[in-house]
Structure 1
Amino acid sequence: MRKLLNKMWNDERGNVLVVMGATLPLFVGAAGLATDTIQWTLWKRQLQRAADSAAIAGVYERVQYKNDLDKVKAAVTKDLALNHHTGIALSSGFPQTSLVADSTDGTQTLRVKVALQVARPLSFSGMFMSAAPAIYAESTAASVPGTDDYCVISLEDTSNTGITGSGNAGVEMDCGMITNSSAANSAIAKGNVTMKASVIASVGGIEKSDNWVVEKYDPYVSKMTDPYASLSPDPSVMDCTSTKVVVRGGPNETISTAPTITADYDFDASYAANGNKSINCFSGIDVASNTTVNLPAGVYYIDGGNVNIQGTLTGTDVTIVLTNRNTSSTATIGTFDMNAQAKMTLSAPTTGTWAGMAIYQDRRAVNQPKQNPNKINGGSTGIIEGVLYFPNQGLAYNGDGTSDFVCTRIVSRRVTFSGNNTTGNTTKIKKDCASKGIPSFEGGRLVRLVA
């Protein structure tokens, strides 16, 4: 181009000047349009980026507050204050924020759509336009299914910490942990604890620490759905009022309430005394030190009482259900307490309504935010294969030190791992447990831009 211009400049023929004069507006116009195109593209890209960021922020807010449009709009406005970089004020009536219905297949939920518009004259084109051109951008974000596999799920959905590792506990799993806590430190590992997992995920924040040995930190994910939200005990199947029970070492007893399982409870005798009908409802399980209770296969409904284990408890194809046949929302629900010197070898059934469930606590149990009413302090020979489900109370878990990884799952409001792994009591949990009736708990729904 420079050579051409020099040639024209040095050409002494007058017609060249005429040609130059005629074509100069084309050169100027082309340069002006090129400049305007670059500027318009930059503004459009910046506006689209702002819309994308605002839509994602809106979904995160919707995760917390569902269909509260005012809160979602406030989150969008706050995000735009940080990420709208065009330098141009939004047009009147923008941003436009709307809550979009979930997709029909359920893969996209809590969708938020954000539309933005700005208008500003372009340097060259503006001389020929009566009004500044509008630049429009819109974006839709949604919560989509995650792919991580979790062995520990904390359902705590407040600002209280959901997962805690303390003392000298040792936790090792080839799957992940997730909490619905919105706290800045929703999952804490402190002391000399070692928490090894594929991922630690949270609705809130997670402070990195040498105590966490994870492949990735995944804060600010969507809430994890309770995988057993639809599972509830049926009071009509609970036989809690058998009139005759034979207790080993004593005569027949006539009772009006469910018996308590102790080391002296004779399941065979009670079965015969009941006309070959199993009693499946008890007022509690109380296993004293130096005693053993072997539970036959079945579902054991605990009617308003507690399970207290200081000795040894065993059972194959067994589910223990802490519930209450009284259907009142305030009915008393018992707790599970396994003493530090106790031993428990328990495996859940692999089929049926209670497949994969080892210990179930009714969700009517009263939440105690500052306490862990349920405790499992297993000895070195204790193994639990199945789900430990405490959806509205905390669980303190002191591991079952084993040389092999086991199919234990924890779904609890809060989970605290504690203890002393210097004695080899490292909790080892594996993820592939379909053969035990335990499904994969995939989730940690992610927030992504969608079409």
Structure 2
Amino acid sequence: MMAAASMPLLVGAAGLATDTVQWTLWKRQIQRQADSAALAGAYAVAQGFNASDSATADISRMALVALTQTPTIENAPTSGPFAGNAQAVRVVLQTSAELPFSKILGVKAPVIYGEATAAVVGSGDYCVVSLEKTSTVGITLQGNATVNLGCGIVTNSRASNAVYAGGSSTVAATPVAAVGGLTSSSNYATGTTLLPYSIPVQDPFAGLPTPTAANFTGCNQKLSAKSGETQSYSPGCYNNVDIKGTVNLEKGVYYIDATSFDVGAQATINGTDVTIILTSSNAANNPSSISTININGGATINLKAPTDTANPYHGVLFYQDRRALDSGTNTINGNASSVLQGAFYFPGQAMSFSGTSGMTTDCVKMVGKRVTFIGNSNIVNQCKDTGVDKFTATLVKLVG
């Protein structure tokens, strides 16, 4: 009799437990759906696509529960800590379904919500950017290279180990980020943060103008100095470069329409507010003719980029025409007396940098197809009031 009397209670408890489990499952499913859609929308924002289209497509693909109301997709959100932020995407989903036991008792179907906000946020300041998009290693540190950058390095390489630090090299740079994978290494200084599988970083100098025919007017000059000789030059176009002595460059832009910008072992090159553009008057028809650079390790290089932010080349010291074929390596060395300030921009080709102990490199940034360090490079990167902009990379994550 007692068992019979308690049976309704036991059945009711079991029914309520079943309904609770079902409700919890639906809640988790719709929340997962909202999280995924918000992330899809934010990734779309990061890559310049439509957030609503991407989030809607993701909701259709997931379809874990049937929605009973049109999804709310906001870019930027109208509420929450990221309200008004165009880099954030807020998604609100709703479903309603009857619970088996509760239905018998006449309980209305519960309304279940899932809400998530994802955003594109900064992942750190970088001073070395590799634009390599394939599975080739983007940044290499080899030999006895000691690299102290004072900021991070990032590559778009999809290699399983996109940044290679080998030999007895040492790198102090954080974070170290890549679209592909990153392998922990004793070559990284203590405290280095690795960010594998990051979203691609955009070319920070993509807006620089491509050289045009007007830039090559009167381009029949020679930029040279014999050993022991000192020569001064004005901005313009030069189709022959051979520096073995001392060259003083006046303020301005120098277009190099020569096979190579060569600086000899005993040469000295001086210039402030200078931008050197490596290009070719025949770049459109023959991109292999675009000039490269070769600065010998014994040379003294005292060059500073323009600091005036009104100058389209502010902060840029060397810029290789982006039409250059990926067929060579640009070599930049210097002796202990060298002073470098500005950015090296080689979007289509590899660049190799070999610093020397004692070089003054308080603000040096590098953007190349691939970047290799083979010498000591103690780059402080204190770039205030130098005209050299920050390179800020981003990542996508749930923020609410």
Q: Provide TM-score, normalisation by structure 1.
A: 0.70
Q: Which residue of 2 aligns with 1:193?
A: 169
Matching of residue 428 in structure 1 with residue 384 in structure 2: no
Contact 1:57 1:76 in 2 (8 A): no
Contact 2:30 2:93 in 1 (8 A): no
DSSP-derived class of the 1:223 partner: coil
Q: Deviations over 1:160-218 (max 9, x none)?
A: 22111111111002211111222221111111111111210112211111112253111
Matching of residue 296 in structure 1 with residue 232 in structure 2: no
| 1:163 counterpart (139, 146, 149) | 139
| 1:48 counterpart (31, 44, 60) | 31
Matching of residue 437 in structure 1 with residue 387 in structure 2: yes
Contact 2:42 2:51 in 1 (8 A): no
DSSP-derived class of the 1:407 partner: strand
CA distance in 2 between partners of 1:93 and 1:160 (Å): 44
CA distance in 2 between partners of 1:77 and 1:377 (Å): 55
| 1:338 counterpart (295, 319, 325) | 295
Contact 1:61 1:75 in 2 (8 A): no
DSSP-derived class of the 1:300 partner: strand
Q: Which residue of 1 aligns with 2:324?
A: 365
| 1:223 counterpart (194, 197, 200) | 200
| 2:221 counterpart (228, 251, 259) | 259
Contact 1:90 1:118 in 2 (8 A): no
Q: Which residue of 2 aligns with 1:204?
A: 180
Matching of residue 447 in structure 1 with residue 399 in structure 2: no
1:440 is displaced (CA, Å) by 1.9
Q: Which residue of 1 aligns with 2:312?
A: 353
Contact 1:152 1:410 in 2 (8 A): yes
- AA at the equivalent of 1:309: V
CA distance in 2 between partners of 1:75 and 1:375 (Å): 46
- AA at the equivalent of 1:435: D
CA distance in 1 between partners of 2:123 and 2:162 (Å): 21
DSSP-derived class of the 1:436 partner: coil
- AA at the equivalent of 1:344: I
CA distance in 2 between partners of 1:216 and 1:193 (Å): 17
1:408 is displaced (CA, Å) by 0.7
Q: Which consecutive residues of structure 1, in runs of 5 or more, have no partner in the other structure?
A: 1-8, 10-20, 81-88, 242-256, 271-277, 420-425
Contact 1:240 1:279 in 2 (8 A): no
1:447 is displaced (CA, Å) by 0.6
CA distance in 2 between partners of 1:99 and 1:374 (Å): 47
DSSP-derived class of the 2:362 partner: coil
Inter-CA distance 358–384: structure 2 relative to 1 (3 Å threshold): same
1:353 is displaced (CA, Å) by 2.7
Matches within 5 A, 1:55-70: 55-56=38-39
Matching of residue 380 in structure 1 with residue 336 in structure 2: yes
DSSP-derived class of the 1:164 partner: strand
Matches within 5 A, 1:274-289: 278=234, 280-288=236-244
CA distance in 2 between partners of 1:54 and 1:363 (Å): 36
DSSP-derived class of the 2:19 partner: helix
- AA at the equivalent of 2:237: C
* Number of equivalenced pairs: 385
1:450 is displaced (CA, Å) by 5.7
Q: Deviations over 1:382-403 (max 9, x none)?
A: 2311100111111111123227
Matches within 5 A, 1:1-40: 29=12, 32-33=15-16, 36-37=19-20, 39-40=22-23
1:75 is displaced (CA, Å) by 8.6
DSSP-derived class of the 1:238 partner: helix
Greater Rg by CA: 1
CA distance in 2 between partners of 1:125 and 1:359 (Å): 72
Inter-CA distance 146–137: structure 2 relative to 1 (3 Å threshold): same
Inter-CA distance 318–65: structure 2 relative to 1 (3 Å threshold): closer
1:340 is displaced (CA, Å) by 2.9
Contact 1:391 1:412 in 2 (8 A): yes
Q: More deviation in 310-319 or 408-417?
A: 310-319
CA distance in 2 between partners of 1:212 and 1:27 (Å): 62
CA distance in 2 between partners of 1:203 and 1:210 (Å): 21
Inter-CA distance 114–379: structure 2 relative to 1 (3 Å threshold): farther
1:381 is displaced (CA, Å) by 2.6
CA distance in 1 between partners of 2:25 and 2:395 (Å): 29
Inter-CA distance 98–163: structure 2 relative to 1 (3 Å threshold): farther
Contact 1:36 1:122 in 2 (8 A): yes
Q: Which residue of 2 aligns with 1:402?
A: 358
CA distance in 2 between partners of 1:284 and 1:114 (Å): 63
Q: Which consecutive residues of structure 2, in runs of 5 or more, have no partner in the other structure?
A: none
1:365 is displaced (CA, Å) by 1.0
Contact 1:359 1:388 in 2 (8 A): yes
CA distance in 2 between partners of 1:316 and 1:149 (Å): 26
Inter-CA distance 211–448: structure 2 relative to 1 (3 Å threshold): same
